[in-house]
Structure 1
Amino acid sequence: MPTPPPVSPLAANLGDSPAPLYARVKQMITQQIDCGNWPPHYRVPSESELVSQLGFSRMTINRALREMTADGLLVRMQGVGTFVAEPKSQSALFEVHNIADEIASRGHRHTCQVVTLEEEAAGSERALALDMREGQKVFHSLIVHYENDIPVQIEDRFVNALVAPEYLKQDFTLQTPYAYLNQVAPLTEGEHVVEAILAEPSECKLLQIEKGEPCLLIRRRTWSGRQPVTAARLIHPGSRHRLEGRFHK
């Protein structure tokens, strides 16, 4: 019996995730970056090299590299190659707060508008974020939060339907999604990514800001125990929000 060809080191890091192939390639590259094997400015193997090492199609590899470039994790230089990008400057967030409580603590009035509250099938991005299979049921809510009638946040949230099966039945004008989810699946772990963006035209309309006005985007994922509960995009007008943190050394 012929000896099977050896498995490349990169292929060995792919694991057995049910995620789409291109998403598994993205996970593998992210792992190489996070663990320091591929530092900033490291030249990533070419598409042809990755096809050979991973055994996936060129289309799959191309999509993974293209999306990671769009996300700012890689830099592609025509005729030269693809390189690991310098990380963006980060701001630490130490606590997760209920926006209604934050507004009340300033002596102001919180109200909100529920724009979307519906069931969806998880696409590849949502499935990856919530550690589920593509096509599984998720709940989607889009809510605009107001402070004294001025919009201060768009909360675009996807929720694991298995964790909070009654989510769509809630009246979120009376209780925020954060408050409800913390009751049914108490928060034990959170992840934040913060960056500056230019909001989409539809988002500018909801926030009542001019097109091109800079905004602050917080991408937040939370867990209850080992179970991912929710993935949210929180968009704040830059002129109406600031981040504060304090640490002890």
Structure 2
Amino acid sequence: MNKPAAFPEDAPASLQKRIRTEIEAKILSGEWGPGYRIPFEHELTVQYGCSRMTVSKAISALAEAGLVTRRRRAGSFVARPKVHSAVLDIPDLRSEIEGRGEAYAFKLVACTPRAPKAKNAEEIDLARGGELLALRGVHFANGRPFAIEDRLISLVAAPLARDADFAAQPPGAWLLEHIPWTEAENRISALGADTESANLLAIAPGTACLAVERRTWRAGEGVTKVRQLFPGEAYDLVARFGPSRG
């Protein structure tokens, strides 16, 4: 490992932040994937020319954010993403549709920046003092409507989303590429399609649909909230389990 130039003018607090930021960037970019062992603390003290305490505080901050796990005598490792619910994946609908041998397409219906709704706690929390990007689109399989997607993106967490071309690249795929998630929550429910949704899905109003609502976070900060609505016969969700461990 090449040792970079020392930064003696850096105060311990600013150097601690720099160490955390650089490690966090490697994790969130995917360069260091889940399970990767980050350099030992004594290696980082040499790399950054600082005290063991400064490194330890930086790693502790990453652990508190859920990005790394510390194992006694083994070191620190990139944490595996946390998923709340039985469905342990965030599907890429394009890959799923093309995996069925069908042609995929996406139509962007609306894309508008807006403030969070005044009495909606989830939206206010997601916005974090900024705006939300509200999107609606339809996924198609072989020319048939496959799912409606209603999505909110935090423009604080993903400022580049404001200028992204979501007509060319669906928002879910764009987010997976640009803002890797570290924690996700799924909610699954069944409901009848309202008139507007039924028109977009080319089904009769009241037809049974599967609604998948998902929220994702990066290092504890909200990134997006999305609801995908599927005609009941078009989609299913499968999860494999093992016994829980004490």
Q: TM-score range by the shorter chain?
A: 0.5 to 0.7
Structure 2 letter corresponding to 1:190: A
In structure 1, stretches of 5+ residues that fail to align are 1-90
Question: What does residue 78 of structure 1 align with?
Answer: none
| Aligned-partner residue type, residue 207 of structure 2 | E
Is it true that 1:239 corresponds to 2:230 in the alignment? no
Q: Per-residue CA shift, 1:144-167, capped at 9, x if unaligned? A: 000111111111000101111121
Q: 2:168 aligns with which of 157, 171, 174?
A: 174
Check if 1:156 corresponds to 2:150.
Answer: yes
Say if 2:118 and 2:124, in contact at 8 Å, map to a contact too: no
Q: State the distance in 2 between where 1:109 and 1:133 align.
A: 35
For 2:89, what is the secondary structure of its paired residue?
coil
Residues 174 and 117 of structure 1, relative CA distance in 2, 3 Å threshold: same
Pairwise CA RMSD: 2.1
Aligned to 2:199: 205
Residues 177 and 148 (structure 1 numbering): CA distance in 2 closer, same or farther, change over 3 Å? same
Q: Does 1:114 align with 2:114?
A: no
In 2, distance between residues paired with 1:130 and 1:96? Answer: 24
Q: Look up the match of 2:64.
A: none
In the TM superposition, structure 1's runs of 4+ consecutive aligned residues that sit over 6 Å from their partners are none
* Ranges in structure 2 where 5+ consecutive residues have no aligned partner: 1-84
- Where in structure 2 are the equivalents of 1:1-249 lying within 5 Å? 92-124=86-118, 127-129=121-123, 131-132=125-126, 136-249=130-243
How many residue pairs end up in the alignment? 160
Mark the CA change 1:227 to 1:121 in structure 2 (over 3 Å): closer, same or farther. same
Change (3 A) 1:132 1:97: closer
Paired with 2:95 and 2:170, the residues of 1 have a C-alpha distance of 10
Percent of pairs with identical residues: 32
**Which amino acid is 1:234 matched to?**
Q
8 Å CA contact 1:130, 1:230 repeated in 2:
no
Amino acid corresponding to residue 225 of structure 2 in structure 1: A
TM-score, normalised via structure 1 length: 0.60
Structure ranking higher on relative contact order (CA contacts 8 Å, 6+ apart): 2
Is residue 130–residue 156 contact of structure 2 (8 Å, CA) maintained in 1? Answer: no
| Structure-2 residue corresponding to 1:49 | none
Deviation at 1:212, TM superposition (A): 1.2
* C-alpha contact (below 8 Å) 1:198/1:212 kept by paired residues: yes
The one-letter code of the counterpart of 1:153 is A
Instruction: Give CA deviations for 1:102-134 in whole Å, capped at 9, x if unaligned.
Output: 111112111011000111110146552462568
- Given that residues 130 and 228 in structure 1 are in contact (C-alpha distance below 8 angstroms), is that contact kept between their aligned partners in structure 2? no
TM-score (norm. length: structure 2): 0.60
Q: Deviations over 1:7-55 (max 9, x none)?
A: xxxxxxxxxxxxxxxxxxxxxxxxxxxxxxxxxxxxxxxxxxxxxxxxx
